[in-house]
Structure 1
């Protein structure tokens, strides 16, 4: 206890903080280096590199047979990648999908998924092998082109990076999310990348923008059209960050008689066709694009989406412009060229930096392969020298082998000087003598392993020819290793060969994505998108609305639901907009073209706009641009509002007349003339000049008439010279021109209504 008391206070949280920090840093580095970010040299992540290496070990060449995917993923998991076999199989399946990978690295047999987003079949049902492109990434592994490291349990070795004959990072692209960083690189065309590399070899200090002459932009496996401005593309490649606007490819198909339809043949990269169709169907249902009538999928092996317009009078470009905004027929593919330089350092690189890293790596591969070849040549020359000695001293060699107890040691002890050499009868060549000294162990082993049939005279000449060829090849390799210019020339030759192999003559090698200017589509008025046809709008007392075709007789008897009847019926056109006025003073807007047909009973208006259940429909009228409305509440307050101000853009409508408590909307009528007449529930009428009423966009308004009891019953506007008209109880129109008795100032009480005024206190 004494020791504990004497011990100074220690910060026990510090070791924990340090421990957590170290472990999280280890995890973060593992995620960045061994999972999420690709290597700039071969463009692969470890899982893809291990899949290809395992397939090579299984000898699954592009011209050989297929093996079960379960076998491949099992070998990868057991030998190199100690993670789930499902994740390994998913990664391998993606390498076989020609709609996801520009140059597939795996040749799949069976169901490997489709562009609709369907998953591949289970690994036990599918088979795979490498493609020629994958073999180009692996070429040189047997020639010490790259370093190898131990696998996770130290029983095998795996390559740190693949030799990669072409810049696969840009050719196939990559995407991944690490810790605190991410990468997203689009695919490009191999032939164009090879041209850019050749230009960099020729002009190492080339500007970033110059490379765009060779690589104008991405080349997506699903085609499409890039509409990003060239200056934005240049900026993206210069900084390593940016984006590309990608649109579908379509054509207008003429159906005769003025009818047409749009056929989409290519959809943007990484857009699932099934999800795209669902989105287009939603656009049709919600009337976001009212001129789109139907969408249909007629795809087989190729893409064929049919877009039918609602009207043949619409411009196809207008329709597509609206669909670009409201669907994935146009997407933005972001560029974030965050890669591992030399497999260690994450860095956001420009296109030039990525190509430079690839070329420097190719030079390193060339040097290592050349050195490896020289070692092989030196070994073979040593063997050839021993075999030539044996031929020149054949009788002595045979004698030693026949009679010596240890022929190997005897051959190594023997002095094979010039005095043992015999003259050659051929004048075409002078055999290089073995020189003074003894044979090495390697040479002796080759002599002892030589077959008797090799003792022919012709074989001796073949050895001398081979020795001469190897000496010539070795001299060429020495020159190559001593000259940087020769090295770059050799790399350029390799790139030209790769371009020829995987260029436009290769299946799918031609550029698929093209470029165009994004013609901005202006907002088109609804009237321009809809056929103008006459209709009759019918709304029942219970709020069920429909549109009858044509202008029918407004007195005609119509069918309604039991207990329901007519309330609003008027003539309109399909291009009109309708204004729905609620008793709460809120205005809602409907498109006449969206009304249900007149064959049934229609649909509840409350389903088309957000009209609360406790709010009643006060008015329903056709919108006339430039017209003004008189609005007033039951409390006797009101004002003039321009009709253009009440148009609502959303289902929730727009509050125009502010009411509270039991006060409701009482009047909503078109305003005109120079006077206004107001009648209260007390049957008193007041007439005053329309100029006394303010014009507002929204609000409570001003007092129209003063009441002791009750409230406003009705109001109307008229021209004083024409007089004030109303319908008497017999249905006859009466007009009063002498209104001096009822004239007054706004907010007055008024006088009793003239004789014959309707009992319901309504002017109309």
Structure 2
């Protein structure tokens, strides 16, 4: 063994590039010419070679898989069988290439039966990809072990890549080509033949858009589709179709008749069922799947309900509406030193058709050349037959006097100036062919073959004639295989959009937040003391409002989470943790809850281009002694699970960073009081705190010099309000009122005690707000 020193990084890079190239060219990406990945091509070729043709009988899929794995594709039986199954599924391919018998899965997501139970043969359409293989139309290469040969590409007669589409993930790239209608693709291909300068916009007059086997509707606009097919990437908006049925008895029913491509039907049913169980759409009563081979999902709704609004909700919140990604990346033949080698390239629609037509011209030229050679060889033989017929008696005499076949052949070649091929055919000729009628048949055949040779020579000498031939063959394919479009192109559907408030039953409710972060909704609250909470927990905040109003949760990490009151779980139990509704970080908790019902707090919409933040305002105080006011209008609408920032905290504050300790509505005429752990108290006018236009760090409320000190709590107060109560570790309490410790903002404040530390600020006891008056 010889050991060589090598750079690890260089070897890793070299081997990874080899792996990446292998994945790109030999596994994941289809060829633009026949639209097939290597495993698909090998399956079809293996079935073709094995005689499993469309006009033959079905054979076990296990036999096909074993044949393909043993001769052409040594990558495991599961990958081969999965590819075979997909080519047989009418809900996966627009024009299936394998005719399957048995359980090949369904649109519900159920998988196919094992290969030992299923049978298959080539479909008629697959024959159009393979039938010209025997006419030297494409190049062959050795298989993986060099024993067999396999085609580099199949001589496809139609643009299979566009018709059936393809998807795959390679190394550093991917492909996602949607299926299209065969008739439209052929019309577009013919249009490019007739008008080579036709642009993508012109081609889209023929190809309206993707045509998915599962039906549905494409709601992308013409401009969006044009951008996708021009750039070779983008997304297409697809959604299911539906109709309304109103039985004589019972409730109206929305019947979903198709679902988007690559979406499992059972997933759609499950998502709709989740909506019903969670009572997010009260007018939707029931869902059941009555599908057979055709999709029929029944959604029962209340009488008097607008089905358009129900479907608008389902399109937004279930997989009934989705975006299908488009990436027209495929392997394209590139002229190289060693011939044509495929390389990945993202194409536009015209380039895909152009590459197919160029390949089709190459195939036709090779096919015509092969046919001409066959015809010329037959003419040569027939001319020999005619020659000996004119001297039949002499020919027989020469043969009878010959020693053997070789001697007879030599004498005939010398006497009549015939070739070895002609003489061999003459000597193999049966005697009955020497009859007068048989000789006439030979002469007629010779005349026909000469005409055929002349026709083939004319085609080979005229490119225009070959394009006419290709055009005619495409039209023949359209007549044989084209069907009606399954997916409707509706463009920008003029239908009502989803309105979150359209299905909310408006009623008053109370929202209760506990100190441990549990939240719930109740229709009424009589006594907070008897409200059900977990052991050791207590009610922190209570607000009321219409189920259509918003409720805001302000966290100690400076984030505001907003949802509609109807989205809070209605229960008389403990409720749900706030973390189940929003995406809270570790250690994050809610310090204040506010209702934006106009009866409690009127928060108008934001005014565009307003010179300064508009009221109402809220005020926040942090542990580090910072404070700020901000407009609540920015938090009026429901937020995402991640919430919206209202404060930017100081990360370098001692003891684990800063956090918000107090948030409340500020009308500007209050006094702001705060107290620290080291016993400093300060009261200032609330209007001294500036109003920030966005989330910021704010200004200094109280000066903190000791790194062990921090603000424990704060409160906005008026003369009639109860004092802020600070509790010492020895149990003693200190009251901070609006008449004491009043100084300018930013000072150290007054010292309440000399020794020890305060442990907490007493929280304000929550009260049940009135349904009639603003709080």
Normalised by the size of structure 2, how large is the TM-score?
0.72
CA distance in 2 between counterparts of 1:415 and 1:614 reads 103
What is the aligned counterpart of 2:322 among 313, 330, 333?
A: 330
Quote the residue 1:388 is aligned against. 386
Quote the residue 1:39 is aligned against. 31
Q: Deviations over 1:94-128 (max 9, x none)?
A: 11122221211111112222233333222222111
What is the aligned counterpart of 1:574 among 547, 551, 558?
A: 547
Q: Deviations over 1:373-414 (max 9, x none)?
A: 222222222322333344443433444444543255235424
CA distance in 1 between counterparts of 2:396 and 2:182 reads 59
1:512 aligns with 2:510: no
Quote the residue 1:171 is aligned against. 163
What is the aligned counterpart of 1:353 among 330, 351, 358?
A: 351
- Could you say if the C-alpha distance between residues 457 and 535 of structure 1 is closer, same or farther in structure 2, counting changes exceeding 3 Å? same
CA distance in 1 between counterparts of 2:628 and 2:49 reads 86
- Unaligned runs of at least 5 residues, structure 2: 335-339, 604-615, 676-682, 703-711, 723-736, 744-763, 770-775
Contact 1:224/1:249 (8 A) holds in 2:
yes
Deviation at 1:746, TM superposition (A): 11
CA distance in 1 between counterparts of 2:567 and 2:61 reads 53
CA distance in 1 between counterparts of 2:107 and 2:270 reads 14
CA distance in 1 between counterparts of 2:482 and 2:74 reads 37
Contact 2:413/2:423 (8 A) holds in 1:
no
Deviation at 1:205, TM superposition (A): 2.6
Contact 2:40/2:83 (8 A) holds in 1:
yes
Give the match's secondary structure for 1:528: coil
Quote the residue 1:593 is aligned against. 566
Question: Which stretch of structure 1 is more off in the superposition, 26-35 or 690-699?
Answer: 690-699
Alignment of 1:96-495 (within 5 A): 96-254=88-246, 260=252, 262-277=254-269, 296-306=288-298, 316-317=308-309, 320=312, 323-324=315-316, 327=319, 329-341=321-333, 344-346=341-343, 347-406=345-404, 408-410=406-408, 412-414=410-412, 437-495=416-474
- Could you say if the C-alpha distance between residues 527 and 385 of structure 1 is closer, same or farther in structure 2, counting changes exceeding 3 Å? closer
Figure out how many residues of one structure are paired with residues of the other and give that number.
681
Contact 2:34/2:129 (8 A) holds in 1:
yes
Larger Rg: 1
Quote the residue 1:757 is aligned against. none
Deviation at 1:138, TM superposition (A): 0.6
CA distance in 2 between counterparts of 1:230 and 1:725 reads 64
- Could you say if the C-alpha distance between residues 520 and 746 of structure 1 is closer, same or farther in structure 2, counting changes exceeding 3 Å? farther
Give the match's secondary structure for 1:237: helix
Contact 1:311/1:529 (8 A) holds in 2:
no
CA distance in 1 between counterparts of 2:19 and 2:518 reads 63
CA distance in 2 between counterparts of 1:254 and 1:388 reads 81
CA distance in 2 between counterparts of 1:761 and 1:601 reads 21
1:626 aligns with 2:602: yes
- Could you say if the C-alpha distance between residues 494 and 569 of structure 1 is closer, same or farther in structure 2, counting changes exceeding 3 Å? closer
Give the match's secondary structure for 1:55: helix
Quote the residue 1:737 is aligned against. none
CA distance in 2 between counterparts of 1:92 and 1:83 reads 14
Contact 2:508/2:547 (8 A) holds in 1:
yes
Question: Which stretch of structure 1 is more off in the superposition, 247-256 or 362-371?
Answer: 247-256
Contact 1:42/1:167 (8 A) holds in 2:
yes
Give the match's secondary structure for 2:161: helix
Contact 1:640/1:671 (8 A) holds in 2:
no
CA distance in 2 between counterparts of 1:144 and 1:185 reads 30
Contact 1:68/1:127 (8 A) holds in 2:
yes
Give the match's secondary structure for 1:330: strand
Q: Deviations over 1:670-691 (max 9, x none)?
A: 979x99999x9xxxxxxx9999
Quote the residue 1:530 is aligned against. 504
Q: Deviations over 1:51-86 (max 9, x none)?
A: 111101111111221111111111112122232222
CA distance in 1 between counterparts of 2:528 and 2:199 reads 79
Contact 2:542/2:766 (8 A) holds in 1:
no
- Could you say if the C-alpha distance between residues 382 and 715 of structure 1 is closer, same or farther in structure 2, counting changes exceeding 3 Å? closer
What is the aligned counterpart of 1:603 among 548, 552, 575?
A: 575
